[in-house]
Structure 1
Amino acid sequence: MPYEPPPELAGLSLAEVAELVAARKLPPVSQWSPENTGDSEMRIAADGRWFHQGSLIKRPAMVRAFASLLTRDEQGQHWLVTPMQKLSIEVEDAAFIAIDVKQDGDALAFRLNTDDLVIAGPEHPIRTEGDPDTPAIYLGVRNGTEARLNRSTYTQLAEIALAGGALSVISQGVRFPLQPA
C-alpha cells in the first residue's frame, strides 16, 4: 500500500493533528534492549538528508521507516534500534527538521521533514540554543530525538510569539522562551 502523507498542516485542526499522531503506529524501540551493537554506516546531515555509506537515501519511505527506529541516549549518541540490534548513526545536528508550525488555541503543532506531526508541550518541549544573534530552536520529538526548526518555521514561531506580545510561546500550558539564555 503506497504511503499517503498527511494533509497540509494549515488545513488541520488541533483535534485532527492529535488523531493523526495517535493513529501513527510506531515500533516500541524504547522497550527493546538488543545486545548486538554496531555501526549503521548512516549519517543524517544538518539539512535533514540521510546518507548510507556516503550515498544519499533518495526514497522518502525508507527515511521515514528508519526515522521510526531512532533513539538518542543520555550521551547524545543516536541509534537505530530493532529487536535484534542497535546500530549507531551519525547525526550532524538534529535527527529531524521542523518544516511547518501552526497555532491552534493553546497548542503549537509542527510538521517534520519525515511528515511526522508533533504537538509541543510537556512531552515535546521547545528549547533554544546558540546566542541572541544566531539562535537555534529545537523541538523534542520522541525517544530523546529532536527536530531543529528550519528558517521559515522559526520565522512563523517568532511571528506567533510577537503577536502574543512576548519573546516566548505557550503550547499545552507550557511557556517556551525563544531567546537563548
Structure 2
Amino acid sequence: MPMPPLPDLESLSLAEIARLAQDRRLPPVESWNPARCGDSEMRITRDGSWYHRGEPIARPAMVRLFSTILRREADGGYVLVTPVEKLTIAVDDAPFVAVEMKAEGTGRQSRLAFRLNTGDLVVANGDHPIRFVATANGPHPYLLVRYGLEALLARPVYYELAERILADQDGPSGIWSDRAFFAVGDAE
C-alpha cells in the first residue's frame, strides 16, 4: 500500500497541521518488549540521512516506515522495534531533522509547526517543547517529537526561528508556541 503524498505545509493552516499531526496513528512501540534482539546495521546521520550497511536508504517511503517503529530506550540508545524483534540503530545526533517551519501569530499568540525529514508534522507546545543545547558554535535547538525522540532544527529553520526570537525582545530571550515559552537561556 503506497504512502499518501506529503501535504504542502505552506497551503495548510496551523489548525489543519495540528489536526493532521494528532490524527497520525503510530504503532504502539512503547508497549512492545520482544526478547529477540540484534543489530539493524543501520545508522541515522546528523543530517537525518538513513544508512543500512553503509549504503544510503534512497527510498523516502522506507525511511518513513522505519521511523514509525523507532524507539528511544531508557539507557539513551535507539532501537527499531516490532512485536517480535528489537534491533539497535546508531543515531549520530537526533533521529529526526526539522526541515521546514510554519508560523502564525506573534509573541504569546505564536504557533509554530514543523515538518520533519520523514514528513511528520509537529506543533511546538507543552507536549512537544523546543530546547536549546549550548555548543561552541552557539545554541542548537531540538524539538521533542515523541517518547524521547527529538528533531534537530536544520540550519535554515533555526535561522527562521532566530529571526522570530530577535523580533520579540519584550522579555527573556526565547520563543512562544501554542501558549508555551521556550527560553534560549535555558541552553544545557
TM-score range, shorter chain: over 0.9
- What is the CA distance between 1:89 and its match in structure 2? 0.4
Note closer, same or farther for the CA distance 1:163–1:114 as it changes in structure 2 (3 Å cut): same
Does structure 1 residue 162 correspond to structure 2 residue 159?
A: no
Runs of 4+ in 1 over 6 A off after TM superposition: none
Structure 1 vs Structure 2 CA RMSD = 1.6
For residues 158 and 8 of structure 2, the distance between their equivalents in structure 1, rounded to whole angstroms, comes to 18
Give distance in 2, aligned partners of 1:88 and 1:82: 12
Aligned-partner Cα distance in 2 for 1:39–1:83: 16
Write the deviation string for residues 28-53 of structure 1: whole angstroms up to 9, x where unpaired.
11111111111111000111110111
Distance (Å, rounded) in 1 between the aligned partners of 2:64 and 2:154:
19
Q: Structure 1 residue 131 and structure 2 residue 135: aligned?
A: yes
1:177 to 160, 167, 183: 183
TM-superposition CA deviations, 1:123-168 (whole Å, max 9, x none): 1111111237422110001121100001100011111212222521
The share of aligned pairs that are identical, in percent, is 49
- Could you say if the C-alpha distance between residues 10 and 162 of structure 1 is closer, same or farther in structure 2, counting changes exceeding 3 Å? farther
Find the counterpart in structure 2 of residue 42 from structure 1.
42
User: Which residue identity does 1:169 align to in structure 2?
Assistant: I
Number of aligned residue pairs: give it: 181
- Tell me which moved more, 132-141 or 79-88: 132-141
Cα deviation for residue 76 of structure 1 reads 1.3
When structure 1 is superposed on structure 2, of 168-177 and 42-51 the one drifting more is 168-177
Q: Deviations over 1:50-98 (max 9, x none)?
A: 0111111000000000001111123210111101111110000010000
- Report SS of the residue matched to 2:37: strand
1:48-59 map, 5 Å: 48-59=48-59
Q: Of 123, 130, 135, which residue of structure 2 is paired with 1:119?
A: 123
Structure 2 regions of 5+ residues with no counterpart?
none
Aligned position for 1:33: 33
Match of 1:152 in 2: 156
TM-score (norm 1): 0.93
1:78 lines up with 2:78 in the alignment: yes
